[in-house]
Structure 1
Amino acid sequence: MVVNAIVVAMVAHANQPNESIYHVGSSVSNPVEFTWLQDYGYQYFTKHPWINKDGKPVIVGKVTVLNTMASFRRYMAVRYLLPLKGLQIVNAACCQYFRGKYLDLYRKIKFVMRLIDLYGPYLFFKGVYDDLNTEKLRRSVRESSEDADIFYFDPKIINWDDYFMDTHIPGVVKHVFK
């Protein structure tokens, strides 16, 4: 769909040097709501449990949702980083007896923080993208071209359930959860 929009935009502007922005995806005409992402993750990992390095399925639960990055960082500090610091001190006092446990928890927290670094800007973004230019381009192609069906790019037809459950989350599991 995005490639189709790019090809059509290149043809439409071939002899018109100007700057136009076209948005294909979650937008005014077919928005994705943040709460859906939580549900998709819960549904996906309930049906397809992620197997950890010990060969055990990770049990998923409902996610605690925070409204700002600052509230998330406070939550992580109090709930995870402070106890981890305590374990680090106890580990040092006990001659590295808890080293394995400490390193395992440190690795997990670091992984979550990496995911937040990647997805945080999207999780707390409050805007909705305007796709009016894309809609105008789509209408002009439909009116002026017999190839309109070949280069179809109407974002209203995106089925977000199918996209997240069958494409996005499996891709994240395959390429990020290593």
Structure 2
Amino acid sequence: MPIHLANDHKTGDGVALAKLYGWPNTYVFTKAMGEMLVGQLRGNLPVVIMRPTIVCSTLMEPFPGWVEGCRTIDSVAIPADMFVNSIIVAMKAHINDPNLTIYQVGSSHRNPVTFNELREFHYAYFTKNPWTDHEVTLNFQQMLFNLQKKLKIATKLVDLYKPYLFFKACNFTDTNSEKLLTNAREKDLDEEVFNFDPLCVNWEDYFINIHLPAIVKYLF
């Protein structure tokens, strides 16, 4: 798909420009532009595009729960080390393939975790591990300022995620990733090292015993 941007559009209004071309925000618009450019300019190079869902703390490597940042967690997720494994396996599988191949890498189709489950996991963990030793004293002005600040952030998040929360037109299947895994297994994939099968993740165990303790220890 050729990229043609309207010359008369205001250059400073990225969101409006994204919406003009059918994208809800600049995040997905620029990702799409990047993929289009790669497709147009790759020549005869083998190219693989990996599309992960929310990438969260590691399941196994370099150790369970390794994480450097946490902006959000969603009902679509993949541990970081599993996503890295999928990249490595895909690179090997397509090293001599002249085509462009796209992989959706996530768990939401074959091993989903719901928002209700996420709430239950968080409640179970913090009920058992309360932050009773963290006391904060705020005066009224501080509380009001913090509330206003959080309200602004929440409003921005609502605007950002609204298109995805109410988007029911398609299902983000990982058919290509499933085929990649099947083919790799037929060629004796070492799953101790390169596992990226979302079916192996027990979400309750992962969140309560790996992800949430890691977030508390390394970030909070």
The two structures share one fold, judged by TM-score above 0.5: yes
Instruction: Answer yes or no: is the 8 Å Cα contact 1:23–1:134 preserved in 2.
Output: yes
Partner residue in 2 for 1:147? 189
Partner residue in 1 for 2:90? 9
Residue identity matched to 1:121: Y
Residue identity matched to 1:124: L
**The residue matched to 1:166 in structure 2 has which SS?**
helix
Partner residue in 2 for 1:110? 149
| Identity between Structure 1 and Structure 2 (%) | 41
Q: Cα 1:100–1:55, aligned 2, differ >3 Å: closer, same or farther?
A: closer
Structure 1 stretch displaced more, 12-21 or 115-124: 115-124
**The residue matched to 1:46 in structure 2 has which SS?**
helix
Partner residue in 2 for 1:27? 108
TM-score, normalised to structure 1, is 0.59
Q: Counting helix residues as a fraction of each chain, which structure ranks higher?
A: 1
Cα distance in structure 2, aligned partners of 1:55 and 1:103: 11
Cα distance in structure 2, aligned partners of 1:100 and 1:112: 18
The structure showing larger relative contact order (alpha-carbon pairs under 8 Å, at least 6 residues apart) is: 1
1:95-134 alignment runs, 5 A limit: 100-108=139-147, 110-111=149-150, 114=153, 121=161, 124=165, 128-134=171-177
Cα distance in structure 2, aligned partners of 1:17 and 1:53: 56
Q: Counting strand residues as a fraction of each chain, which structure ranks higher?
A: 2
Q: Cα 1:48–1:10, aligned 2, differ >3 Å: closer, same or farther?
A: same
Q: Which runs of 5+ in 1 are unaligned?
A: 57-98
Q: Which runs of 5+ in 2 are unaligned?
A: 1-81
Cα distance in structure 2, aligned partners of 1:170 and 1:108: 27
1:4-83 alignment runs, 5 A limit: 4-51=85-132, 53-54=134-135
Instruction: Answer yes or no: is the 8 Å Cα contact 1:26–1:129 preserved in 2.
Output: no
> Paired residue for 2:200, among 142, 150, 157?
157
Distance apart, 1:138 and its partner CA: 0.7
Distance apart, 1:51 and its partner CA: 4.3
TM-score, normalised to structure 2, is 0.49
Residue identity matched to 1:154: D
Q: CA RMSD in A?
A: 3.3
Partner residue in 2 for 1:167? 210
**The residue matched to 1:8 in structure 2 has which SS?**
helix
Distance apart, 1:39 and its partner CA: 0.8
**Number of matched pairs:** 134
Cα distance in structure 2, aligned partners of 1:22 and 1:103: 47
Deviations 1:109-141 (A, max 9, x none): 634764775697398365652111111001111
Distance apart, 1:52 and its partner CA: 6.8
